């Protein structure tokens, strides 16, 4: 074979070898960059066409290299791969952020959501009834009375509400039944006590909160939630296990003390409740506590004994505090309706109550007890319980409550 033939054959072999290498490199780059099938086929067909040519100029090969950016795409491909890896990360981060937002939403769930049963029950019935009327007449007011009585508002409170509603409707010249509903909302809000509806805590003093209530109303849990609230606010809290008639009450309160970060003073079952109250106050004063929350038993089967027990406890507290005011709070179960109202009346007779905490309002479709307690006993509602979580013990705000159940 002549010199030029060998030369051209070697050159052709080199060109074909270069094309094969280029083809391999192109395929590898295409796999890394995950180009579309259409682009891959286009590049491969171009290379195959070049392989079929007997002789290819080096300039053409260089052009093809430039077309697919063989020498310059490594960095770009790496960047593309990084971007493709980053995208799932961003998606994960987005999901995590959404989960946090959802958790916050659950944590700060609106009162409206918590009072769903009452809003859809009693107040949903009221709304549909009034908006369904075509005329304002005596029959409307009579049927309204029936609905209110069935909602645990009670007969006396119901008559007051309907009488005031009728008066306001006439005074405002309301003719359309649809306009009666917002008037009813204002009337019912007017029966809720809005003053002095918080537990007063003074800095630099020992604040005492005496909590009473019968078994099963959520008294111990309420005390635990209060303790947790105040500890989170930076207060030093001591709990007094004055309900010595039940071993379970002492154990539950001790558990809440551990959970909330409060201290506890306790004795054995059957010991003198007055002695526990005395020891609790002594410990609170010596340890520089800000708040002492005292649990007491509430046994209604013997009214005289209950009165004597509470009088003794009040005497001990007054002796320790002097003229300083303290809170005496009754906890009642919002799902028990008129029974809760009767309990409140008895306790209000035998002790100096400063207010109420109504629990389990998220579990009732009635909710009328709020109005009965506030109006008939003329004492403010301090807190309401609308769930199991610590943050579900909420300071009672009349406007917020009305908005949650009427809207």
- Ranking 28-37, 221-230, 243-252 by mean pLDDT, the lowest is 28-37
Q: Please check the confidence at residue 94 and state whether its pLDDT lies above 90.
A: no
How far apart, in whole angstroms, are the C-alpha atoms of residue 165 and residue 159? 10
How far apart, in whole angstroms, are the C-alpha atoms of residue 395 and residue 407? 20
Q: Please check the confidence at residue 285 and state whether its pLDDT lies above 90.
A: yes
Mean pLDDT, the chain, whole residue set:
78
Q: Please check the confidence at residue 169 and state whether its pLDDT lies above 70.
A: yes
Asked whether the beta carbons of 141 and 180 are under 8 A apart, the reply is no
Secondary structure of 103-170 in the HEC alphabet?
HHHHHCCCHHHHCHHHHHCHHHHHHHHHHCCCCCCHHHHHHHHHHHHHCCCCHHHHHHHHHHHHHHHH
How, if at all, do strands 291-295 and 327-333 pair? unpaired
Asked whether the beta carbons of 158 and 148 are under 8 A apart, the reply is yes
The helix or strand, by DSSP H or E, that contains position 241, with its residue range, turns out to be strand 237-241
CA dist list (Å): 178 to 59, 140, 399: 87, 12, 21
Residue 109: which pLDDT band, with cuts at 50, 70 and 90?
low
How far apart, in whole angstroms, are the C-alpha atoms of residue 135 and residue 142? 13
| Greatest mean pLDDT range, 84-88, 95-99, 177-181 | 177-181
∠ CA 21-22-25, rounded to 5°? 85
Q: Please check the confidence at residue 318 and state whether its pLDDT lies above 90.
A: yes
Task: Record the tokens describing residue 11, joined without a space.
Answer: 């050159």
**Res 71: pLDDT:** 41
Mean pLDDT for the stretch of residues 31-41: 47
| Greatest mean pLDDT range, 15-24, 46-55, 312-321, 366-375 | 312-321
Q: Is 330 exposed, middle or buried (CB count within 10 Å of its CB: 0-12, 13-18, 19+)? A: buried
**Res 251: pLDDT:** 94
Tens digit of each residue's pLDDT (9 = 90 or more) over 210-244: 999 988 899 999 999 999 999 999 999 999 999 98
Q: Please check the confidence at residue 68 and state whether its pLDDT lies above 80.
A: no
How far apart, in whole angstroms, are the C-alpha atoms of residue 171 and residue 400? 26
**Res 18: pLDDT:** 44
Eight-class DSSP state of 227: H
The helix or strand, by DSSP H or E, that contains position 219, with its residue range, turns out to be helix 219-232
How far apart, in whole angstroms, are the C-alpha atoms of residue 318 and residue 283? 16
How far apart, in whole angstroms, are the C-alpha atoms of residue 26 and residue 47? 9
């Amino acid at each position: 074979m002549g010199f030029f033939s060998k030369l051209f054959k070697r050159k052709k072999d080199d060109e074909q070898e270069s094309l094969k290498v280029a083809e391999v490199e192109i395929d590898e780059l295409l796999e890394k960059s995950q180009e579309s099938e259409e682009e891959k086929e286009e590049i491969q067909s171009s290379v195959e066409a070049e392989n079929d040519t007997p002789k290819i100029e080096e300039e053409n090969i260089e052009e093809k290299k430039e077309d697919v950016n063989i020498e310059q795409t490594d960095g770009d491909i790496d960047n593309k791969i990084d971007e493709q890896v980053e995208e799932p990360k961003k998606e994960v981060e987005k999901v995590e952020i959404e989960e946090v937002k959802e958790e916050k939403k659950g944590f700060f769930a609106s009162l409206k959501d918590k009072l769903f049963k009452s809003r859809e029950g009693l107040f949903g019935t009221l709304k549909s009834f009034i908006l369904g009327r075509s005329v304002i007449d005596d029959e409307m007011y009579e049927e309204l009375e029936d609905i209110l009585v069935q909602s645990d508002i009670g007969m006396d409170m119901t008559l007051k509400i309907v009488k005031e509603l009728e008066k306001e409707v006439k005074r405002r010249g309301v003719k359309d039944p649809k306009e009666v509903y917002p008037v009813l909302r204002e009337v019912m809000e007017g029966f809720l006590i809005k003053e002095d509806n918080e537990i007063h805590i003074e800095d630099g003093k020992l604040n005492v909160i005496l909590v009473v209530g019968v078994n099963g109303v959520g008294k111990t849990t309420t005390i635990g939630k209060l303790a947790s609230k105040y500890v989170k606010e930076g207060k030093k809290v001591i709990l007094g296990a004055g309900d010595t008639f039940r071993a379970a009450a002492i154990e539950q309160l001790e558990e809440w003390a551990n959970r909330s970060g409060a201290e506890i003073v306790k004795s054995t079952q059957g010991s003198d409740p007055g002695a526990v109250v005395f020891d609790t106050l002594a410990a609170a004063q010596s340890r520089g506590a800000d708040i002492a929350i005292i649990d007491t038993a509430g046994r209604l089967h013997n009214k005289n004994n209950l009165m004597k027990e509470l009088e003794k406890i009040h005497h001990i507290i007054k002796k320790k505090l002097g003229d300083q005011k303290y809170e005496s709070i009754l906890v009642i179960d919002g799902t028990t309706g008129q029974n809760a109202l009767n309990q409140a009346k008895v306790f209000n007779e035998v002790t100096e109550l400063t207010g109420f905490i109504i629990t389990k309002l998220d579990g009732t479709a009635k909710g009328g007890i709020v109005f009965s307690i506030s109006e008939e006993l003329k004492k403010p509602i301090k807190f309401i319980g609308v769930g199991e979580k610590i943050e579900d013990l909420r300071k009672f705000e009349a406007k917020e409550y009305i908005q949650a159940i009427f809207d």
